[in-house]
Amino acid sequence: MSIRELSPREALQRQQAGALLLDVRETFEHATGMAAGAVPLPRGEVAGRAAEVAPEPDAEILTICAHGQRSLAAARTLMQMGYTNVASVAGGTARWIEEGLPVAKPGGDEDFYDRYSRHLRLPEVGEAGQRKLESARVVVLGAGGLGSPAAFYLAAAGVGTLVIADDDVVERSNLQRQILHADDRIGMSKLDSAAHALHGLNPRVHLEGLRERVTSANVDALLDGADVVLDGADNFPVRYLLNDACVKLGIPLVYGAVQRFQGQVSVFDAGRQRGRAPCYRCLFPQPPAPEDAPNCSEAGVLGVLPGVVGMLQATEAIKLILGVGEPLFGRVLMFDALAMRFHETRLAPDPECPVCAPGRAFPGYIDYTAFCAGG
């Protein structure tokens, strides 16, 4: 069955003369822009819904897709249904836009549809998923080596609210890995420096900051309303506190850590999945001795390593918000930069965990500094 094809300009002329132009791309593709005046009708719905939009079998109908292939198939379906005056637009919406023909975008928020157009093309995201990201609240602990790349990618992805906790100022030694900051901001608070960088990247993102040390006294308020918490801490007392708070409040915690040339990432969601997902204490029931786990200022770290790990943390946070893919529940992903090798270790929940064991009431916050010092 031969299908008549029209150029986009010919199709526009026919449309202006009264022809019905059907955009047969998927709904998530419509959000990226449509030929002005086109009626959205995904190809898979053509057979069932064509009569709704074109009740007369002799009506002139033009089909358009992204590049011209699906529109040919949709036109063929219409002809098989008895429509007699059908044509397909050669080159599809891509050529329509290239030729500068009128385009309409839904909702009137041109910045949203332009900025997130590559997300909108993904069926797993689409406009509904992007709106989820825009309404999400993510807490990032630390605007340092891990928090910097993670916050950059979360802001770029369109997470609506980023809450960053950091009481430090920018130092020259930070710049080798903490990419939120810049040389002309040495001495500035990391929160102000982060706001400068992130608003420059995406002014749609709302930023909140806590310019204090995170403690048992303020952690609940910090995490209030959070959808995801991202751990970019550089010390064990805060890591244990953050874990316990996330278990207590039922918030998923995206863990990351780096040292020298190695890093690791996991997702702890024991607060919502008691007995099925582990927490940080299931991985480290007791903190290591200080001499066994020196921080970056003592042991050093390859500058790009926090970028890899922070990017992975941001990926997991985005997946959790969207509800897609397989998060790192019960898995610790380890990266060796020198060998350029990833490997994964399974982690089961500890049935005797003092914080996340099923049926165990939250024991309350403790003196985490003393706990990590062996006191």
Q: What is the mean pLDDT of the chain?
A: 94
Residue range 126-372 in CATH 3.40.50.720: yes
Q: Pick from 197, 228, 201, 235: which is nearest to 328 by CA?
A: 228
Q: 4-108 belongs to which homologous superfamily?
A: Rhodanese-like domain (3.40.250.10)
Question: pLDDT (tens digit, 9 = 90+) per residue, 281-308?
Answer: 999 999 877 666 666 666 789 999 999 9
* pTM summary value: 0.84
Question: pLDDT (tens digit, 9 = 90+) per residue, 25-59?
Answer: 987 787 778 999 999 999 999 999 999 999 999 99
Q: How confident is the model at residue 2 (pLDDT cuts 50, 70, 90)?
A: confident
Judged against a pLDDT cut of 80, whether residue 310 lies above it is answered with yes
* Catalytic pick among 282, 296, 353, 372: 296
Q: How confident is the model at residue 197 (pLDDT cuts 50, 70, 90)?
A: very high
In this structure, are residues 65 and 93 in contact, taking their beta carbons and an 8 Å threshold? yes
Q: Is the dihedral of CA 245, 246, 251, 254 positive or negative?
A: positive
Q: How many other CB atoms are there within 10 angstroms of residue 222's CB atom?
A: 19
Q: Where are the domains of the chain?
A: 4-108, 126-372
Question: pLDDT (tens digit, 9 = 90+) per residue, 214-269?
Answer: 999 999 999 999 999 999 998 999 999 999 999 999 999 999 999 999 999 999 99
Alpha carbon distance 35, 139 (integer Å): 40
Catalytic annotation present for 279: no
Question: pLDDT (tens digit, 9 = 90+) per residue, 103-135?
Answer: 987 666 778 888 998 898 888 998 899 999 999
